[in-house]
Structure 1
């Protein structure tokens, strides 16, 4: 009788366990260069300047999305993680309807940390799509800018494995 090979998912799990033994703290796994916070992995690209659309494409190609901030705790963590870095795209915009801000997944912004009198590009450029970014000169408060500007960005994705 021929010997059966283990199912593919068993082999994949074994590889993840080996990977996790090397790259995680026993509870979570993020790929090398990514940082863990609250069930997500994050990576900032401060020296790679892309338009919002290009940054979104890069994050998707890496298996994630531009970062979404759901609450103050996540906002403060990302502020600390990106301290001293340049302007960084986050995953929200008003492309669909001017003045109506949504995250990339289509959900409305329920928590916000806009700088005083922001967003304001709607008033200055009502015909230009604007997107959300951290503005470090304003203590990492949020600002809107034309999506065609080149900035760094933050990607987020799900953890690889939780054991």
Structure 2
């Protein structure tokens, strides 16, 4: 029997035997649309945040729609206490051209007015994307070595989906 068929059968069996309210996101992650999000309670540099997300089988969040942007901004505001959160984009490959990690372009930008500006008071080294509290969690570029909280994202679980409506 092929591994793919075994996977499909196990998922079907799990969804039949699992309770209706089986979560499709890991503990601590919040489901919205086809993604699960984790708002960190720790701070790290952009590289550290990316590593944490990878450890949890996820990546730094990528915002691709107004709905997703609104949801993450609202949740960030509800979390209270963080001046910002890392998202998964940089302009480290080509200055001024922000791309999501992995190389996909940003098709839905939500920059704060005047951003990105690649400027801080000491030098021109703001290359990583974050949600900034002072602008209502709109986007801002920031020095990648600064330590702030971050948002991890992963797709909802394919297995154990409610009523076999699984998404990838």
Tell me if both proteins adopt one fold, taking TM over 0.5 as the criterion. yes
Alpha-carbon distance in 2 for matches of 1:156, 1:20? 24
Aligned to 2:43, what secondary structure does the other structure show? strand
1:8 Cα deviation (Å)? 6.1
Matched, 1:90 2:87: yes
Instruction: State which of 51, 55, 60 in structure 2 corresponds to 1:57.
Output: 51
Residues 24/144 of structure 1: CA separation in 2 closer, same or farther (3 Å cut): same
Instruction: State which of 37, 40, 55 in structure 2 corresponds to 1:42.
Output: 37
Instruction: State which of 50, 58, 79 in structure 1 corresponds to 2:73.
Output: 79
1:148 Cα deviation (Å)? 0.4
| Count of aligned positions | 152
State the Cα deviation string for residues 53-106 of structure 1 (Å, max 9, x = none): 010011111111100000111100111121134110000111111111000121
Residues 108/79 of structure 1: CA separation in 2 closer, same or farther (3 Å cut): same
Task: Please say which of residues 117-126 and 152-161 is displaced more in the overlay.
Answer: 117-126
The answer on whether the counterparts of 1:24 and 1:30 sit within 8 Å (CA) in structure 2 is no
The answer on whether the counterparts of 2:29 and 2:38 sit within 8 Å (CA) in structure 1 is yes
Which structure 1 segments of 5+ residues have no match? 1-6
1:110 Cα deviation (Å)? 1.2
TM-score, structure 1 as length reference: 0.81
RMSD: 2.5
Aligned to 2:19, what secondary structure does the other structure show? helix
Alpha-carbon distance in 2 for matches of 1:71, 1:10? 30
Residues 40/16 of structure 1: CA separation in 2 closer, same or farther (3 Å cut): farther
**Larger-gyration structure (1/2):** 1
- Write out the 4+ residue segments of structure 1 that deviate beyond 2 Å after TM superposition: 7-25, 122-126
Alpha-carbon distance in 2 for matches of 1:99, 1:82? 26
State the Cα deviation string for residues 101-154 of structure 1 (Å, max 9, x = none): 00012111111111111111158744x351000001111111110100000000
The answer on whether the counterparts of 1:85 and 1:136 sit within 8 Å (CA) in structure 2 is no
Residues 10/141 of structure 1: CA separation in 2 closer, same or farther (3 Å cut): closer
